[in-house]
Structure 1
Amino acid sequence: MRFIALAVIIFSVPVFMVLLQQNAKYRRYLYFAVGFLPFVISAWNLDAAIISWATWPGQTKGVIITLLDALALAIVIRSRRSPLSFPFTALFIAYIGAAALSIIFSTTPQASFFYAWQLGTVLLVFWAVANVAMTKDGPKMIIAGLVCGITLQAGFSISQKFSGVVQASGTMGHQNLLGVATHFALYPSLAMLMATKKAKLPMLGVVAGLIVVAFGASRATIGLAGIGVMLVIFLSMVRKPTARKTKVAAIGLVILAIATPVAISSLQQRFAITSTEGSNEERQAFERAAKMIWADHPMGIGANRYVVVANTEGYSERAGVIWNRGSRSAPVHNSYLLAAAETGFIGLICFVLLIFVPIVAAFRFAWANRKDPKGDMAVGIGVTLVIFAMHSFYEWVMLTWVIQYMLAIAIGMLAGFITYRKAEKRAAIIAKRRAQSEDSDEAVPALAKQV
């Protein structure tokens, strides 16, 4: 079955290329799929392993390709633009290089290679999204895919909640993973809702996102979602205040007020079962272990190897991580420390730059293009990355392929916007020079007649 799945995914590349070539209707569907697929790849088994280490305790289980990889490859091949021309490409390549460098310091180099491979597929998705974002309807279709993906998860979360599940995880396996994924649909949807009169789809994204946040009962997700919603509303109003935005802001605050008691109720149900104090102590123990690993291995222990090293070399025991399967099989709940422990200070720097450089670029683009609807979407993307950066202090899932696909989609859309705007400016300059040249050519004969 594994080889059949591999064959299907590989041969889907030329099929996608044909569909992309045929007509705009098919292209719109495929652009929609780019945003939708990350939510369902695992649940619908839309991936296949060239090499599989199913029991490996790291975040990457082998050399895996997905249907989204195939679609992204088809989009990149079909595009006439060099993928290296997009902004932020160097940041992705640098992080891949840091992961590849960590293979040298790994006693299980193949496991570390798995993570470098994963980052390569993430770069491919980034390039594909950047190309799509330069088309007329591409950004809207990607957002539509994200909205439908989070709406599907909201449906499963509602079903799980009414079935007695304390922390709903949708189809993504864990509530924290779903909570982080929610950021990438919620804030762009809210930004679009405030900027456009076509409100049905973005409204659906906002409502579904808040349902997932409330029913997931994750402290960090709930707190950061509230901050993110307020930040989008505030920045959108400051950037370009309108009567519509004021109305939407008021409605949004009402929805947030309604969702807050539901979220509090979910948290109360959770803490009736688990202790907040115990959870905090466990996180601190994880961080002590990660810091000890990083201190002993400043160049890293090799990507995708934290759990193995923390247990076999005694770091978890010395740090006080409790002895049970859940704790000893999980990485440190801090993506920055995890990146530092596995890929060293070089990997940490690259990881931080990959997040924070696009944040600055997003807000610069938004304020430089106040009359462009893409500027509103850039606000949503910028807030998404800010909340992602904050959430990374409390979660390790930022190093999993699902969330990194989401990150590639967000940064890829921003890269497409920036590249498209630069192309527009160059075209305007060329047109102006041609007009000036034509005026000069016409002026010469007129002057000759006067003489």
Structure 2
Amino acid sequence: MCPFFLPIRVDYHFYFLPDYFARDINGLAVSAFDVFFFMGLGIWLFRIANDRLTAVRLFPRISIPFLIIWLISLAGLIHNSVDGPIAIAVLWQVLKNLLVFLYVANNLHRLGRFRHILILLLIMGLVQSFLGLAQFITGGKLGLTMFGEAERSYFEMRAGAEYVSRVAGTLGHPNKLAVFLNLLLQLNIALLFGVRTARQRLWLWLTLGIMGIAMVLTYSRGGWLGLIFGGGVTLFWCLYRIIGKRTLAMIAVGTISAMIFLSLVIGIPSVRKRLFENDYGTAALRVPMSLVAANTIVHNPLLGVGLNNYTAESKRYDISDSGVSYTFPRPVHNEFLLIGAEQGVIALILFLSILAQMFIYLFWVANHSPSRYLSYAAIGFFSGWLGWCLHHQFEYEYVFFPEFTWVLFGMFQAMVVWIDSDS
């Protein structure tokens, strides 16, 4: 049940610092996910203590780099004298996600559980899509503040001479919903090739259509780009498996992609305006923001300026002509530059090693799983994370904070464990 609360933030803050700087974590909070997760964690630990046969795997290829990143983050926060309660909240959130990874990777070891989790993920995508559609139809927020709906969960912005309405469900910002849906759309597309019955395909076509509409309504160009790139890889991989000829699969992917792109651009004027006309948005700010982040890394290569502390320090390293850290005081819209600036180059390299390991796992599962269902799911996740990497050249997420990322990484690790134990 706890994964259902991943995109629905029901939080209670024991401590909250006024938002002097744009930070992802501004206080000590407990979420609905935490309640269910720690119940499950307690049961697992009790089982370990009372059953010597219960194996506990630590997965050192992931956990060791993660722990080193945590230690670097600790040193960086101490070095930069971040407010004590905020530093504790940040360090705890990172450490909790290591526990999330280990819990999922150790306990998701039956094919039936994988199937249930995949279905639950698609239901989560549908829920967020329906919320986004409701925001679009009503022309405003839905009053779901206690579930994570934020000020920027619905807003209008210029696209040429007109406005477009952007939706975010309960994920706080349209770009966040685009990241979330991008991963699930890739999974949905791959499973269309993996399921065997017409009824399953019908349901997957329905979820694909609903999530696809919501994805368009985010008006996230980075999200669209990630979906096009990842979707192309998914389609090519799946079609190649069926057709057996690379050239024919590439032609099919190119034709399908061109038809979808032209249909959206010609049929929906707001999409065309968002892509090709001046939207007065933040796109032009990304270059100077990246320049500031790069200068921050040059001056703080080992420990960074402190995790969750970028906006508090970026003005010291602002060498842009526009003074972007003053006019747009937000974290740099590039996840990899943000990690380097806040946690240092070593932490960035270690995260890239974790990411690379996940790609290796998914590629291996896609090609070695005895379960057709799981094999195609791995293809969808592989392509989804390719899209994630592309999108996060223009977006930031604080990848060590959201539990969703580490639930998925735990799933990927568990897929490998299940195949090894089954064989």
Asked if Structure 1 and Structure 2 have the same fold, meaning a TM-score greater than 0.5 normalized by the shorter chain, the answer is: yes
TM-score, with length taken from structure 1: 0.74
Cα pair distance change 1:252/1:154, threshold 3 Å: farther
Equivalent in the alignment of 2:369? 369
Matched, 1:68 2:33: yes
Equivalent in the alignment of 1:11? none
One-letter amino acid of the counterpart of residue 295, structure 2? M
Larger Rg belongs to:
1
Cα shift readout 1:308-331 (whole Å, capped 9, x = no counterpart): 1113x262766631744xx12x11
Alpha-carbon distance, 1:54 to partner: 4.7
Q: Secondary structure at the match of 1:59?
A: coil
Higher helix residue share: 1
Equivalent in the alignment of 1:190? 189
Q: Distance in 2 between matches of 1:334 and 1:193?
A: 32
TM-score, with length taken from structure 2: 0.79
Cα shift readout 1:150-178 (whole Å, capped 9, x = no counterpart): 21222222233334552122222211111
Q: Tell me if structure 1 keeps the 8 A contact 2:370–2:419.
A: no
Give 1:8-157 correspondences, 5 Å limit.
30=1, 33-34=2-3, 36-41=4-9, 46-55=10-19, 56-79=21-44, 80-85=54-59, 88-108=62-82, 110=84, 111-157=86-132
Equivalent in the alignment of 1:413? 411
Cα pair distance change 1:262/1:64, threshold 3 Å: farther
**Which residues of structure 1 form unaligned runs of 5+?**
1-29, 426-451
Equivalent of 1:205 in 197, 204, 207: 207
Alpha-carbon distance, 1:351 to partner: 2.1
Q: Distance in 2 between matches of 1:101 and 1:161?
A: 45
Q: Tell me if structure 1 keeps the 8 A contact 2:265–2:271.
A: no
Paired residue total: 377
Q: Distance in 2 between matches of 1:298 and 1:396?
A: 19
Equivalent in the alignment of 1:445? none
Alpha-carbon distance, 1:269 to partner: 5.1
Cα pair distance change 1:159/1:316, threshold 3 Å: farther
Q: Kindly, what percent of the aligned residue pairs are identical?
A: 19
Q: Distance in 2 between matches of 1:218 and 1:60?
A: 24
Alpha-carbon distance, 1:201 to partner: 4.3
Alpha-carbon distance, 1:396 to partner: 1.0
Matched, 1:341 2:308: no
Alpha-carbon distance, 1:121 to partner: 2.2
Q: Tell me if structure 2 keeps the 8 A contact 1:147–1:204.
A: no
Q: Distance in 1 between matches of 2:205 and 2:180?
A: 18
One-letter amino acid of the counterpart of residue 318, structure 2? Y
Give 1:221-236 correspondences, 5 Å limit.
221-236=223-238
Alpha-carbon distance, 1:366 to partner: 1.2
Cα shift readout 1:265-298 (whole Å, capped 9, x = no counterpart): 333454799536x633311111111111111111
Q: Tell me if structure 1 keeps the 8 A contact 2:15–2:29.
A: yes
Cα pair distance change 1:212/1:234, threshold 3 Å: same
Matched, 1:295 2:282: no
Alpha-carbon distance, 1:367 to partner: 1.4
Equivalent in the alignment of 1:160? 135
Q: Secondary structure at the match of 1:48?
A: strand
**How big is the alpha-carbon RMSD for the aligned residues of Structure 1 and Structure 2?**
3.1
Alpha-carbon distance, 1:200 to partner: 4.3
